[in-house]
């Protein structure tokens, strides 16, 4: 054979054939090469990398917060005040006195029955009618007894009381005239028969009852009993001026609308002080309503107008609309109101719009991806740790250890997971567990119910591996049991664990999304893809605001597909029977 013939059998190609590649490449490189040959696996890997970048990097780059609520300002017509024609008695108690509510009920019964006295809680009251729908409630206190001897009245004061000669003269005239009451120095007295004798009783003012509503021009002014009594009396007697505690007041009475304006006289000044009418006007927001505003309302009602305008405190004209319902009115006005920007359509500011809480959906999806992916990985890691430890012990030792662990696996398999999730979710709701702690509890619960499958797989693999020669060698060398299991047996199961873990990740994300959709998983304000879809809880939102739930559903679908593609690719890459 010549030298040239020998060289013909030597390959000069720079490309390794399949046989040479097997000899040169390490096992890890072989698995990697097989994995990247699988197009679906590569697509799955790209999807997962994109999801991680979207969730973790996107959450850092977004200008909005996870729980940031966006608001808008709109002018809407809102109820401003309520107006009602008053048909109920209003009460003003005298200074130092209190007329109880049960007494007020008895007073109405007495008026309806035409009675002038009534009793409440063992206290006797008398009614003095001062005018139309205007009563004075008093209690009488004896000040003197009267004894008639041979036509002459002798007055004996009650202990602690004084009875002047002038009062005796007025009382004597009333007795001779056969009257049962009289007034002296603006004090009302009653003559009451006590057997053969009589008693003179002085009226003690308790309260007044009127159907007029008194309002003040200033929030700082407080109307007292004396003013209200004198003002009501002036309205009934049509007295245009009156005096209370040394202060003079003037009245302008409008009989057509049954309203009166009272002015306080201070030297030459005439100061608006109070407005009285039979119409009750109350601000819904407990805002002080000026007398000018009340007058405008009264004029609009009596003139049959449906709206009126008036300047507010800033001098801006505001239009008010009156809505009538029988004898009641509602005053409405347009108000610049801050509203939560719910279900805003996708825009430049919010590329995927806002949800029912006024939060940016794109930002919520980013933070929700973090929660869903973290839950998936943490649960898989816990499942693998438990499954490897228990499955490794069961497979290596066999016997009673294997029996105990496998029966435990059977018990866990028999636990109905969904009812358990519902029960535990209800318990956490009842205990008001913090949403952050709830996430950790959810991960633990999912892991405690998901490890048996991994334990069975590890046990089966170790049962076949422990009889091989390398394990006999480890036993001959005196290597400890722990090192035999976790240094020699478990590493041989890692390919299968990798495949199962990647496949389980998609299932756990689906489980978390399902539980959150049912309200049993991650709770507001934290976001997960499942509870984002859960926010769409009625058919109207589902059909009209697709941008709220479709993106979250697509992310779940794509992510689970990605994990499944990667799992399939790893399974094929680790398969020793795969064609090289």
User: What DSSP character marks residue 373?
Assistant: H
Which tokens go with 460?
């089966």
- Residue partners of 304: CB distance under 8 A and separation at least 6: none
CA separation for the pair 409, 105 (Å, rounded): 74
Cα 423–chain centre separation: 25
Q: Exposed e or buried b for every residue in 406-442, given b needs 16+ CB within 10 A?
A: beebeebeeeeeeeebeeebeebeeeebeeeebbeeb
Q: CA-based angle 303:306:312, to the nearest 5?
A: 95
Which tokens go with 312?
């507010």
CA separation for the pair 204, 572 (Å, rounded): 104
- What is the helix, strand, coil percentage profile of the chain, to 5? 50, 25, 25
Which tokens go with 519?
């309200």
Look at residues 318, 320, 273, 322 and name the one whose alpha carbon lies nearest to residue 302. Answer: 322
**Contact call for residues 497 and 384 (beta carbons, < 8 A):** yes
Mean pLDDT split into 10-residue runs, the chain, 580 residues: 51 51 62 84 91 91 90 83 86 87 87 85 81 86 81 79 82 83 81 80 86 83 88 89 90 83 87 86 79 83 85 81 85 84 90 90 92 88 89 84 90 86 83 83 87 87 74 70 72 78 82 79 83 79 86 90 86 62
Beta pairing partners, 92: 208
What integer pLDDT is reported at residue 12 of this predicted model? 52
Please give the sequence-ordered ranges of beta strands (E in DSSP) within 107-212, or none if there are none.
Answer: 117-120, 123-131, 134-149, 152-157, 181-184, 187-194, 197-210
CA separation for the pair 128, 139 (Å, rounded): 11
What integer pLDDT is reported at residue 1 of this predicted model? 47
**Contact call for residues 209 and 91 (beta carbons, < 8 A):** yes
Q: Report how far apart the first and last C-alpha atoms of the chain are (Å, whole number).
A: 35
Q: CA-based angle 215:220:224, to the nearest 5?
A: 55
**Contact call for residues 388 and 496 (beta carbons, < 8 A):** no
Look at residues 296, 362, 366, 364 and name the one whose alpha carbon lies nearest to residue 331. Answer: 296
CA separation for the pair 413, 1 (Å, rounded): 72
What sign does the dihedral 23-27-32-35 (CA atoms) show?
positive
- Residue partners of 369: CB distance under 8 A and separation at least 6: 51, 54, 55, 56, 59, 529, 555, 559
Q: CA-based angle 140:145:151, to the nearest 5?
A: 130
Q: State the DSSP string of 216-245.
A: ESSTT----HHHHHHHHHHHHHT-SEEEET
State pTM to two decimals: 0.57
CA separation for the pair 185, 176 (Å, rounded): 20
* C-alpha to C-alpha distances, 62 to 54, 356, 518, nearest whole angstrom: 10, 20, 29
Look at residues 460, 455, 462 and name the one whose alpha carbon lies nearest to residue 413. Answer: 455
Identify the residue whose tokens are 């589902």: 542
Helices (H), 398-451: 399-414, 417-431, 435-450
- Residue partners of 443: CB distance under 8 A and separation at least 6: 375, 378, 379, 382
Look at residues 370, 372, 381 and name the one whose alpha carbon lies nearest to residue 556. Answer: 372
CB atoms within 10 A of CB 111: 17
CA separation for the pair 207, 185 (Å, rounded): 20
User: What DSSP character marks residue 398?
Assistant: -
CA separation for the pair 480, 461 (Å, rounded): 20
Cα 521–chain centre separation: 20
CA separation for the pair 181, 223 (Å, rounded): 30
Look at residues 483, 488, 446, 442 and name the one whose alpha carbon lies nearest to residue 465. Answer: 488
Domains of the chain: 27-68+350-574 (1.10.3720.10), 90-209 (no CATH), 214-338 (no CATH)
Please give the sequence-ordered ranges of beta strands (E in DSSP) within 173-292, or none if there are none.
Answer: 181-184, 187-194, 197-210, 213-216, 241-244, 247-254, 259-266, 269-277, 279-283
Please state the φ and ψ torsions of residue 341, each to the nearest 5 degrees.
-80, 80
**Contact call for residues 73 and 93 (beta carbons, < 8 A):** no
- Residue partners of 324: CB distance under 8 A and separation at least 6: none
| Largest Cα span, the chain | 179
Cα 193–chain centre separation: 66
Look at residues 442, 465, 449, 456 and name the one whose alpha carbon lies nearest to residue 497. Answer: 456
């Amino acid at each position: 054979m010549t030298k040239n013939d020998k060289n013909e059998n030597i390959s000069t190609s720079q490309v390794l054939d399949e046989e040479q590649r097997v000899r040169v490449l390490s096992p890890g490189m072989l698995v990697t090469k097989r994995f990247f040959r699988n197009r679906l696996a590569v697509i799955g890997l790209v999807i997962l990398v994109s999801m991680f970048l979207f969730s973790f990097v996107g959450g850092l780059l977004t200008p909005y917060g996870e729980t940031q609520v966006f608001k808008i300002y709109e002018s809407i017509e809102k109820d401003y005040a309520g107006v009602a024609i008053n048909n109920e008695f209003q009460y003003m108690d005298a200074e130092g006195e209190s007329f109880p509510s049960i007494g007020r009920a008895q007073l109405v019964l007495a008026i309806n029955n035409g009675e002038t006295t009534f009793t409440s809680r063992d206290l006797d009251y008398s009614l003095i009618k001062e005018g139309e729908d205007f009563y004075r409630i008093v209690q009488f206190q004896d000040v003197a007894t009267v004894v008639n001897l041979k036509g002459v009245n002798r007055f004996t004061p009650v202990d602690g009381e004084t009875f002047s000669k002038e009062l005796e003269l007025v009382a004597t005239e009333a007795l001779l005239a056969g009257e049962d009451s009289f007034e002296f120095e603006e004090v009302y007295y009653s003559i009451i028969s006590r057997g053969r004798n009589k008693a003179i009783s002085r009226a003690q003012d308790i309260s007044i009852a009127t159907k007029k509503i008194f309002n003040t021009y200033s929030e700082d002014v407080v109307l007292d009993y004396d003013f209200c009594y004198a003002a009501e009396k002036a309205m009934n007697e049509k007295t245009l001026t009156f005096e209370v505690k040394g202060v003079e007041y003037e009245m302008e009475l409008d009989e057509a609308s049954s309203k009166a304006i009272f002015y306080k006289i201070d030297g030459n000044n005439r100061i608006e002080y109070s407005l009285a009418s039979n119409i009750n006007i109350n601000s819904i927001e407990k805002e002080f309503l000026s007398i000018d505003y009340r007058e405008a309302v009264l004029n609009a009602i009596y003139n049959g107008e449906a709206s009126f305008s008036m300047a507010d405190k800033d001098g801006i004209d505001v239009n008010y609309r009156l809505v009538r319902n029988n004898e009641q009115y509602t005053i409405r006005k347009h108000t610049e109101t801050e509203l939560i920007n719910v279900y805003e359509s996708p825009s430049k500011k919010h590329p995927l719009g806002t949800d029912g809480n006024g939060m940016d959906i794109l930002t919520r999806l980013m933070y929700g991806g973090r929660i869903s992916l973290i839950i998936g990985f943490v649960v898989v890691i816990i499942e693998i740790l438990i499954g490897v430890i228990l499955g490794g012990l069961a497979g290596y030792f066999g016997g009673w250890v294997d029996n105990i662990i496998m029966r435990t696996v059977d018990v866990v398999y028999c636990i109905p997971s969904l009812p358990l999730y519902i029960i535990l979710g209800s318990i956490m709701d009842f205990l008001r567990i913090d949403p952050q702690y709830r996430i950790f509890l959810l991960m633990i619960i999912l892991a405690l119910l998901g490890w048996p499958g991994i334990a069975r797989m590890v046990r089966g693999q170790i049962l076949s591996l422990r009889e091989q020669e390398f394990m006999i060698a480890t036993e001959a060398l005196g290597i400890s049991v722990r090192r035999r299991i976790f240094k020699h047996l478990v590493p041989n199961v890692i390919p299968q664990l990798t495949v199962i873990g990647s496949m389980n990740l998609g299932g756990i994300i689906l489980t978390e999304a399902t539980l959150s959709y049912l309200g049993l998983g991650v709770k507001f304000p934290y976001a997960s893809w499942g509870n984002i879809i859960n926010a769409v809880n009625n058919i109207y939102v589902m059909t009209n605001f697709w941008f709220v739930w479709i993106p979250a559903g697509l992310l779940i679908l794509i992510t689970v597909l990605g994990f499944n593609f990667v799992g399939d690719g790893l399974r094929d890459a680790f398969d020793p029977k795969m064609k090289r």
